[in-house]
Amino acid sequence: MKALILSGGTGTRLRPFTYSIPKQLVPVANKPVLLHCLENVRDMGVTQVGVIVGSQEDQIRAVVGDGSALGLDITYIPQHLPLGLAHCVLIARDFLGDDDFVMYLGDNMLVGGVTEAAKVFRTQRPDAGVLVTEVTDPRQFGVAELDSEGRVTAVVEKPLEPRSNLALIGVYFFTPAIHDAVARLRPSARGELEITEAIQGLVDRNHRVTAEQFTGYWKDTGNVDDLLDCNRVLLDTLHSDGDRGGVDTESLVLGEVVIEPGARIIGSRVEGPVVVGAGSTIRNSHIGPYTAVGRHCELSGAGISDSIILDGASIRDVLDIQGSLIGRWADVHVGDSHPRHRLLVGDHSQIALPA
C-alpha cells in the first residue's frame, strides 16, 4: 500500500496567517500537523508516500525533506491549482500505479491513528473504504449512508436534509478501481473534481465500498478554535521526563511541562500541560495550561495560556493573553497591564498594544 497526503490547500479560513505559512505546517503541541499525519501513515506500515503540494512547496520540503527522518520515502507531486481531491488522485496516477493506497488530508488530526482501519481494509479489501465519525450537524460535511452490513449505499456532499450523521473525515482507502471512477468525472459546480462523486460512481457501478467508524478524537484544523482544541488534547497526553535543568531556583513549574534542550525558565511560573521549545527563554512570566511555546521564543513579563506560539516569537509585558495563535518571529509588546486579548498574529508582525 502507498499513501497520498494532500498538502496543497491554501488555508483560507486561517488568513492572514496562512499567507506566509502552509496551514499543514501550523504546529500542534510543537509539531506541525502534517508531521502528525505522516507519523500516522508510517504507523500503518506504509513507507512510500506521495505529498501533494501547492505554491508553498518549498516550506513543506524544508520541514519534511525526503522523509528519511520519519522512515518514509517521500515523492512530491505539484498541484498548480486547487482543483479538488479527486484531481489529486488524477495527477498522482504515475506515482500510485496499480497499488492500493490511503488518501489522507494533511490538515486533519486523528489522535490515536488509523492503524486498525488500515488492517480492516487490507484484510477485507473492498474497492474503497471510507473513515466516518458521528457529527451533530451533518449538513457541514460529506455524509455516508450505510446499509445494515456497513456497506456504503450513498455519499452526499453537505446534504440539506441528511439521512445519516456519519461524516467523512478525510481518510480514504482505495484499490486501483478508483482511477476509472476519477477518469469519468466532470468538474462540479465549484469547478472541482469531487472525491465524493468518484466514490458514488463506484457505488452506482456495484463496487463494494465500506465504512469504518472512527471513535477517537478528530479535527479538521482549518480554523483557530479547532487548532487550539487539538493543542489541548495533545498536551493532555504529555509526560515530562522530569528534567528541570533549564529552570532557575526562583521559578515554579507545576504539572506536566516538557522543557526542550536549551530552553530556560527564569523567575517564572509555568503550569502544565505546557511544552517549551528548544532555545526559548521565559523570564518573569506566568505561562498557564495548554500553551505550546515554539523554539527560540522570548517571553518576558508575559501572561499567556491556552495558546500556540510559533518559533521565534517575542512577547514582552503583555498579560492575560488567552486562546491565541501567534506567528513566527512576531513581536507583541506593551508597557502596562491591560484587559485580556485574543490574538491571531501572522509571521513577522509587530503588535504594540496601548498601555
| Same domain (yes/no): 71, 213 | yes
The pLDDT confidence band at residue 215, using thresholds 50, 70 and 90, is: confident
For residues 350 and 78, the model is more confident at: 78
CATH code of the domain containing 259: 2.160.10.10
| Same domain (yes/no): 48, 179 | yes
User: Does any domain span residue 217?
Assistant: yes
User: Does any domain span residue 238?
Assistant: no
CATH code of the domain containing 93: 3.90.550.10
- Of 171, 206, 222, the position where a domain reaches its end is 222
- Give me the pLDDT at residue 150, please: 82
Q: State the average pLDDT over residues 31-41.
A: 95
- Domain limits for position 105: 2-222
Q: Model pTM?
A: 0.89
- Of 222, 242, 270, the position where a domain reaches its end is 222
User: Does any domain span residue 280?
Assistant: yes
| Same domain (yes/no): 218, 323 | no
User: Does any domain span residue 278?
Assistant: yes
| Same domain (yes/no): 213, 258 | no
User: Does any domain span residue 228?
Assistant: no
- Give me the pLDDT at residue 348, please: 63
| Same domain (yes/no): 13, 132 | yes
pLDDT at 55 over 90: no
CA-nearest of 101, 111, 114, 125 to 52 is 101
SS3 per residue for the chain: CEEEEEECCCCHHHCCHHHCCCHHHCEECCEEHHHHHHHHHHHCCCCEEEEEECCCHHHHHHHHCCCHHHCCEEEEEECCCCCCHHHHHHHCHHHHCCCCEEEEECCEEEECCCHHHHHHHHHHCCCEEEEEEECCCHHHCEEEEECCCCEEEEEEECCCCCCCCEEEEEEEEECCHHHHHHHCCCCCCCCCCCHHHHHHHHHHCCCCEEEEECCCEEEECCCHHHHHHHHHHHHCCCCCCCCCCCECCCCEEECCEEECCCCEEECCEEECCEEECCCCEEECCEECCCEEECCCCEEECCEEECEEECCCCEEECCCCEECCEECCCCEEECCCCCCCECCEECCCCEEECCC
| Same domain (yes/no): 64, 178 | yes
User: Does any domain span residue 17?
Assistant: yes
Percent of the chain with pLDDT over 90: 71
Percent of the chain with pLDDT over 70: 92
pLDDT at 238 over 80: yes
- Of 200, 222, 244, the position where a domain reaches its end is 222
| Same domain (yes/no): 77, 181 | yes
- Give me the pLDDT at residue 272, please: 94
| Same domain (yes/no): 176, 296 | no
User: Does any domain span residue 271?
Assistant: yes
| Same domain (yes/no): 21, 88 | yes
| Same domain (yes/no): 214, 259 | no
What's the total number of domains in the chain?
2
For the segment 286-319, what is each residue's pLDDT rounded down to a tens digit? 999 999 999 999 999 999 999 999 999 999 999 8
| Same domain (yes/no): 153, 262 | no
| Same domain (yes/no): 190, 287 | no
Q: Answer whether the bond into residue 273 is a cis peptide, omega within 30°.
A: yes
